[in-house]
Structures are given as C-alpha cells and as structure tokens.
Amino acid sequence: MSDARIQGYARALFEIARAEGTLDEVEDELFRFARSYETSDGLRAALTNDQVPAEKRQAIVEDLLGGKATSTTVQLVSMVVGSGRGRELPSIVDQLVQRAAGAKDLAVAEVRTAVALTDDQRDRLKAALENATGKSLTLKTVVDPTVVGGVVATIGDTVIDDTVRTRIDRLKSRL
C-alpha cells in the first residue's frame, strides 16, 4: 500500500480516537496489538487471508480484543482488517503512534527487552534516553524473547543496542 494510503488510515484512526477522547489508551492498545500481530504467524495469516470473508476476519478481531481493549480499539482494528488492509496494520499503527507523539511534541522510543520492565525501570530508562538524545520521549515497550538480555531502543533512525548479544559480538571482534 502506498505511503499516502497508510498516512490516510493513520490520520483517520488518530482523529477518531482523539474525537472520542481515548487517544492515549487507544494508541497504546493499537501499538501492543500491532506488535503481537507482527510476531504471530497464525494471527497474520488469519487476518490477511483473502479467502476468509471480511466478516470472519472482523469476528476474529472482536474475539481476540473483546473485553481486553476499548471498543474504539476493537472497532478501528476491525475496520482496517475488514477493508482488506490487515497486511499494513503495523505500518498504519506506527504512523498513528508517530502522529500522536507529534501532537504532544514528543518523539517515540520503541524499546525491546526480554522481560517486562517495572514502572521504575521504565522511568529511569526514559530519563536516560531523553538525556542521551536531547528529546522528550514517549516510551513504547515491547517484550521480545529474542533479546537475550539488555535493551534495544529505536528512536527515529537512531538505534541504541545494549543487548548481551551485541556485547558478546563486540568482545569476539576484539579477540
């Protein structure tokens, strides 16, 4: 899908969530759903299979998110999947997250860790990243089992990789 179409969907989702007064919550739920979507082959296949009727794909979304997310989030994901744009869902959501952060004059820091962070760890990490980049940030965390230990932070085009794997690779290259 073209960037203009992705931007259009992101703008529409942003405006709907903002109009309903649930932008922060919906943005966070969409972000978490998009990350789950990216890591689940089965979910991706179910929501992008053109052989499955749109109503069935929408029912899958409603079954997965019903009771776990706001009705706005469920309806927005259902709309994207029902319109046959399931493949672009992560890109649309990422654009929405960027738009929401921009509305608050913040940059987005996507942080991947092997385990969930405590509130204190999130606060300290956010402060350290803001100090390192000189930007005010909104922190989006993703639990990623492939990160053996440490943290990978992506802020725009900047990647800060302080994982155990990277440290070991650096030691190997020195030896």
114, 148 contact by CB (below 8 A): yes
Which pLDDT does position 163 carry in this prediction? 84
pLDDT of residue 128: 93
Strand 107-113 to 137-143 pairing: parallel
Give pLDDT, residue 2.
Answer: 66
Distance CA(74)–CA(66), nearest Å, equals 7
Q: Which tokens is 35 given? A: 């990350």
CA 11 to chain centre: 16
pLDDT of residue 169: 82
8 A C-beta contact, residue 72 and residue 65 = no
The pLDDT value given to residue 149:
86
Give the separation between CA 88 and CA 93, rounded to whole angstroms: 9
Structure tokens at 168: 């070991």
| Rounded CA separation 136/61 (Å) | 34
What CATH code would you report for 3-101?
1.10.520.20
Going residue by residue through the chain, which has 175 residues, state the pLDDT in tens, using 9 for 90 and above.
568 888 998 999 999 999 999 999 999 999 999 999 998 899 999 999 888 899 999 999 999 898 899 989 999 999 999 988 889 999 999 999 999 998 888 899 999 998 999 999 999 999 999 998 888 999 999 998 888 888 999 998 889 888 888 888 888 888 7
Q: Is 72:16 a contact under the CB 8 Å cutoff?
A: yes
Rounded to 5 degrees, φ, ψ at 116 are -65, 145
